[in-house]
């Protein structure tokens, strides 16, 4: 009789455990939370958010509901980070370098011409270096669950084709609100104009700025091709994105719930990166199809850009922390050596 009862009990319990992805589903309580981002639906960033929401519902047995707020409807990135620190919003995903104003060491990931490929960036950000940055966040009211991908940034403008370094001079280029991108474009002879992403389309449309720099996926998703004529494949910067949780919210979760969040973030990370790279691979052709002129820099001109921004590495290494930059380059050497 005891064995029969045990079989019945297990027959009920096992499907629940499988559904939840955790044997401790009974310890998971009901939660509703807001997950905000600047990009619009259809962008790989938002596709990753959708996957995360789906996974966390599955792994929690439907007890945790993630409501998505893409398109900057809850504010720009800097504003959203403040809202997380205050516990007003529970989650966001944004360019990791934006956190340099909160934790100076995050500025390291904004250094120009840093990564050779997305896969190389994965190994560095998922390894000891990326983990060391995550460990600095709780003191600022934030918790990092890992890194997704925005990708390699390229230059667009509405004045003329850019095929050499001198063509950049005098252009008003919108950059993200982070010190290194601002000084990067000033060093190239442009006039950098930091603006929230949510204001960018209007700034391009009205001529407040001549151009901007973003991955190809953003150019398509935000329809910048409607207000820009020229694109240059510069790949001057790679943006790892970071998935953030409000520490106020995180501290209210128990260990089982935290494990569900981390597992969902890890699984969504792998999916999001795959989607991002597939999107990027076809985005250039899609941009050309809109009528934009797309130019590639020659290796010689790319080297001129690299030479022009080299002084930034020394300058910002001192501000970020020489030991942080040294650790980053050491890990890059290890990854490349392997």
Are the CB atoms for 190 and 173 separated by under 8 Å?
A: yes
Which pLDDT tens digit goes with each residue over 134-164?
Answer: 999 999 999 999 999 999 999 999 999 999 9
Which pLDDT tens digit goes with each residue over 99-145?
Answer: 999 999 999 999 999 999 999 999 999 999 999 999 999 999 999 99
Sign of the four-CA dihedral 66, 141, 121, 186 = positive
Which pLDDT tens digit goes with each residue over 169-192?
Answer: 999 999 988 889 999 999 999 999
3-state secondary structure of 44: helix
Model pLDDT, residue 256:
96
Model pLDDT, residue 26:
57
Q: Average pLDDT for residues 1-16, to the nearest whole number? A: 40
Q: Give the H/E segment covering residue 155.
A: strand 154-157
Which pLDDT tens digit goes with each residue over 190-234?
Answer: 999 999 999 999 999 999 999 999 999 999 999 999 999 999 999
Strands 91-95 and 238-246, sheet pairing? antiparallel
Which pLDDT tens digit goes with each residue over 249-258?
Answer: 999 999 999 9
Under 8 Å CB-to-CB from 43, ≥6 apart: which residues? 70, 217, 218, 221
Instruction: Say whether pLDDT at 25 is over 90.
Output: no
Q: Average pLDDT for residues 262-282, to the nearest whole number? A: 96
Residues of the chain with CATH 3.40.190.170: 29-98+118-149+241-282, 154-237+285-337
pLDDT bracket for residue 338 (50, 70, 90): low
Distances (CA, A) of 305 to 122, 155, 234: 25, 12, 9
Model pLDDT, residue 5:
38
Model pLDDT, residue 178:
84
Would you say the pTM of this structure is higher than 0.75? yes
More confident: 75 or 19: 75
Model pLDDT, residue 158:
97
Are the CB atoms for 262 and 139 separated by under 8 Å?
A: no
Model pLDDT, residue 218:
93
Percent of the chain exceeding pLDDT 90 equals 89
Are the CB atoms for 193 and 125 separated by under 8 Å?
A: no
Model pLDDT, residue 31:
97
Superfamily of domain 29-98+118-149+241-282: Bacterial extracellular solute-binding protein, family 7 (3.40.190.170)
Tokens of 289: 């199809």
Superfamily of domain 154-237+285-337: Bacterial extracellular solute-binding protein, family 7 (3.40.190.170)
Percent of the chain exceeding pLDDT 70 equals 92
Q: Average pLDDT for residues 64-85, to the nearest whole number? A: 96
Instruction: Say whether pLDDT at 325 is over 80.
Output: yes
Model pLDDT, residue 22:
46
CA distance 196 to 92: 15
Instruction: Say whether pLDDT at 45 is over 80.
Output: yes
Instruction: Say whether pLDDT at 236 is over 50.
Output: yes
């Amino acid at each position: 009789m005891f064995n029969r009862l045990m079989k019945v009990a297990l027959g009920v319990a096992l499907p629940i455990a499988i559904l939840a992805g955790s044997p401790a589903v009974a310890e998971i309580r009901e939660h509703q939370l807001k997950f905000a981002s600047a990009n619009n639906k259809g962008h790989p960033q938002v596709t990753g958010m959708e996957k995360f929401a789906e996974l966390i519902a599955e792994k929690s047995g439907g007890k945790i509901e993630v409501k998505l707020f893409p398109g900057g409807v809850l504010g720009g990135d800097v504003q959203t980070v403040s809202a997380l620190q205050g516990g007003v919003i529970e989650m966001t995903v944004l360019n990791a370098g934006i956190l340099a104003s909160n934790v100076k060491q995050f500025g390291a990931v904004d250094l120009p011409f840093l990564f050779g490929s997305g896969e190389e960036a994965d190994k560095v950000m998922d390894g000891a270096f990326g983990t060391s940055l995550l460990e600095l966040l709780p003191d600022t009211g934030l918790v990092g669950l890992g890194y997704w991908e925005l990708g390699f940034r390229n230059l667009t403008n509405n004045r003329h084709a850019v095929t050499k370094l001198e063509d950049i001079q005098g252009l008003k280029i919108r950059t993200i609100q982070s010190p290194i991108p601002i000084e990067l474009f000033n060093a190239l002879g442009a006039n950098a104009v930091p603006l929230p992403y949510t204001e960018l389309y209007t700034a391009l449309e009205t001529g407040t700025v001549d151009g901007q720099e973003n991955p190809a996926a953003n150019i398509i998703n935000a329809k910048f091709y409607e207000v820009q004529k020229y694109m240059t494949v510069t790949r001057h910067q790679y943006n790892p994105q970071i998935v953030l949780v409000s520490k106020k919210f995180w501290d209210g979760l128990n260990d089982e719930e935290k494990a569900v969040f981390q597992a969902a973030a890890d699984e969504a990370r792998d999916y999001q990166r795959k989607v991002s790279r597939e999107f990027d691979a076809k985005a250039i052709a899609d941009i050309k199809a809109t009528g934009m002129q797309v130019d590639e820099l020659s290796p010689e001109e790319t080297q001129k850009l690299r030479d022009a921004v080299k002084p930034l590495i020394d300058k910002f290494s001192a501000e970020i922390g020489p030991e942080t930059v040294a650790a980053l380059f050491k890990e890059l050497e290890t990854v490349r050596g392997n």
